[in-house]
Amino acid sequence: MRLLRLLPLCVLLAACTATPPAKPPEKAEAAVTVNADTQFAELSQRWLDGWFRLNPVTATQIGEHRYDAELDDLSPGSRQRAYDFSQRTLAELERIEHARLSRANQVDYAILRNQLRSDLWNEETLQAATWDPLIYSQIAGGALYNLMARDFAPLPDRLRAATVRMEKLPHLFEQMRGNLDPARVPKIHAETASKQNKGVLSLVDGLIVPHAKELPDADRARLDAAIAGLRKAVDENQRWIDHDLVPNARGDFRLGQSRYDAKLAFALNSPLSREEIRRRAEASMTGTRAEMYAIARQVLAGKRKAPPLPEKPTEAQQQKAIQAALELAYADRPQRDRVIATAEAALARATAFVREKDIVGLPDAPLKIIPMPEFQRGVALAYCDSPGPLDKNLDTFYAVSPIPDDWTKKQVDSFLREYNNRSIEELTIHEAMPGHYLQLWHSNKYPSVLRAVLSSGAFIEGWAVFSEKVMADEGFLDGDPLYRLVHLKWDLRTIANALLDQGIHVDGMTRDQAMRLMTVQAFQEEREAAGKWVRAQLTSAQLPTYFVGWQEHLDLHAEAKRREGDAFSLRRYNDTALSFGSPPVRYVRQLMFDQPIQ
């Protein structure tokens, strides 16, 4: 999972977005083209500047540091101003002739239009600020974490900015309590907010307090006062969450068909409809399980107590054989306290393999594997957090959530069966090499910051899943069949994600049905499936990005191979596919094959 966010600002946006036409136009047409591109560049710059002012916490994260001491304002008045800003920008954008823009700008135009329409729909229809308390806990945690996690400025400067933000956080909690209507808040969201609320104090104690001595006395006194005020505000907010919000939370976490389809269309920006996604996912589930059964017959052949392995199995025989083969992989798992160390070793192996096979251009930026910050826990096991395009030569973080201290031995065993040694190899490929870390490094080199800010989750997650297949197909871990089996199990997870998301939010899928999909059809362990059930309630239209992006990358790869035949080069293809930033895959296809930008 890539840590979701919007990314940064270009120092010279006009130069970044304008691309000259391939053929010299007539003089009159050239003037029109330059004018359209100039108009678009100026509008894009104004939108970026305005968006950063409205979202200062994310601005810090992506490398725009003019607003490091500011905090997001979620008051009704501020939300109305943001809505009006999006309306004005969309109206002005649609007055620019799309066909007169350079091809690069035609893509950015389409992406910006999709975002503006999504922003308006979010405020008019979804209205998440009135029912989702996690928005507030994420802003609170991000406000401090984004300042302290990376050394983008001298430590005293970042501590002073953190001081001002801590002084403002009690007001954010007041806005949270004023905006949220408990009758609309889903119980699962309220309970998760209760768990996350004090996470901001762990950031204070872990990232700020140990460095307070770096400040002169006056600044240190202000910092101490801000921390004391924040502790009091967090405690007050915790009491409200536990005594008022959680007991009275009555909202439905399911979006329903109309809202889900609209949100999905904005999130994916793909020609694939919900119905087509389901058809593809169901077919992929059947085909992947058949491939897993073929491997199971191979690895179980001749073993004592092996289940029946007929060439044409029943559904029950297929299930039993695949499960028995997976048990061989589950037996090879790390100790409870060795998960991160195992991931570090896996990263070294994956990097060496990508270099040896010349699969894709390698990054030259640093990567650190870290424990996931507390305020981010509870939604996913791991994520990749890369620096924004404006923050140069800073670390990328591959964050892994520690095993909770209160888990029983049975729960820990379930978790480590799921994240056995081969699964950690696959996880590391997805999050780091040649997955998110590598792809986002390539993406951050693309000159259009607008495209970076509006990066496509489907492209990013789809690439990470596609890269898993590339590594397996190229023979990673010496073609180990158990690794291939685990890789296919991860494919089942991607497929199940797509079915799970629309099943829950549109079709009323129950917890029992969801758990059966994950634990039986996709062979996930109970702890992993239970966590995904929570994540699927807390989020919507994000889980399908893995499957949809993967399918689009597979289709693009197949089309390139068909066109190039024997001249096809995997390295050249991968580098080209990654050279356009992270737009929706539909636009990569159009750019790569010189098709009209639609």
Instruction: Indicate whether 159 belongs to any domain.
Output: yes
Instruction: Indicate whether 26 belongs to any domain.
Output: yes
Q: pLDDT tens digits for 230-241?
A: 999 999 999 999
- pTM equals 0.90
Looking at the fold, whether 334 and 478 belong to one and the same domain comes out as: yes
Looking at the fold, whether 374 and 495 belong to one and the same domain comes out as: yes
Burial of residue 579 (number of CB atoms within 10 Å: 0-12, 13-18, 19+): middle
Q: pLDDT tens digits for 480-514?
A: 999 999 999 999 999 999 999 999 999 999 999 99
The confidence score (pLDDT) of residue 380 equals 58
Contacts of 215 (CB under 8 A, 6+ apart): 156, 159, 160, 223
Question: For the chain, how many residues are written?
Answer: 598
The confidence score (pLDDT) of residue 528 equals 84
375 contacts 196 by C-beta, under 8 angstroms: yes
The confidence score (pLDDT) of residue 181 equals 97
Q: pLDDT tens digits for 233-283?
A: 999 999 999 999 999 999 999 999 999 999 999 999 999 999 999 999 999
Instruction: Indicate whether 131 belongs to any domain.
Output: yes
The confidence score (pLDDT) of residue 67 equals 98
Looking at the fold, whether 231 and 302 belong to one and the same domain comes out as: no
Q: pLDDT tens digits for 301-311?
A: 999 999 999 99
Query: Tokens standing for 224?
Result: 């101490």
Looking at the fold, whether 201 and 281 belong to one and the same domain comes out as: no
Looking at the fold, whether 309 and 411 belong to one and the same domain comes out as: no
CA distance 598 to 587: 8
Looking at the fold, whether 409 and 286 belong to one and the same domain comes out as: no
Instruction: Indicate whether 499 belongs to any domain.
Output: yes
Is the per-residue pLDDT at 392 higher than 80?
A: no
Is the per-residue pLDDT at 21 higher than 90?
A: no
Is the per-residue pLDDT at 381 higher than 70?
A: no
In which domain, by residue range, is 31 found?
13-256
Q: pLDDT tens digits for 42-75?
A: 999 999 999 999 999 999 988 999 999 999 999 9
> Total domain count for the chain?
3
Q: How many CB atoms are closer than 10 A to CB 516?
A: 14
3 band by pLDDT with thresholds 50, 70 and 90: low
The confidence score (pLDDT) of residue 418 equals 85
Instruction: Indicate whether 5 belongs to any domain.
Output: no
The confidence score (pLDDT) of residue 401 equals 77
What percentage of the chain carries pLDDT values higher than 70? 93
Looking at the fold, whether 66 and 197 belong to one and the same domain comes out as: yes
Looking at the fold, whether 448 and 319 belong to one and the same domain comes out as: no
17 band by pLDDT with thresholds 50, 70 and 90: very low
Looking at the fold, whether 193 and 203 belong to one and the same domain comes out as: yes
Last residue of a domain, one of 256, 281, 302: 256
Q: Give the ranges where 358-435 is alpha helix by DSSP (H).
A: 409-418, 421-431
Looking at the fold, whether 205 and 232 belong to one and the same domain comes out as: yes
Instruction: Indicate whether 205 belongs to any domain.
Output: yes
Determine the average pLDDT of the residues in 395-424. Answer: 86
SS3 label, residue 364: coil
Instruction: Indicate whether 98 belongs to any domain.
Output: yes
Looking at the fold, whether 373 and 322 belong to one and the same domain comes out as: no
Looking at the fold, whether 199 and 316 belong to one and the same domain comes out as: no
439 contacts 457 by C-beta, under 8 angstroms: no
Q: pLDDT tens digits for 289-327?
A: 999 999 999 999 999 999 999 999 999 999 999 999 999
Identify the CA nearest to 354 among candidates 441, 429, 440, 437.
429
Q: How many CB atoms are closer than 10 A to CB 59?
A: 28
Instruction: Indicate whether 245 belongs to any domain.
Output: yes
374 against 77, higher pLDDT: 77
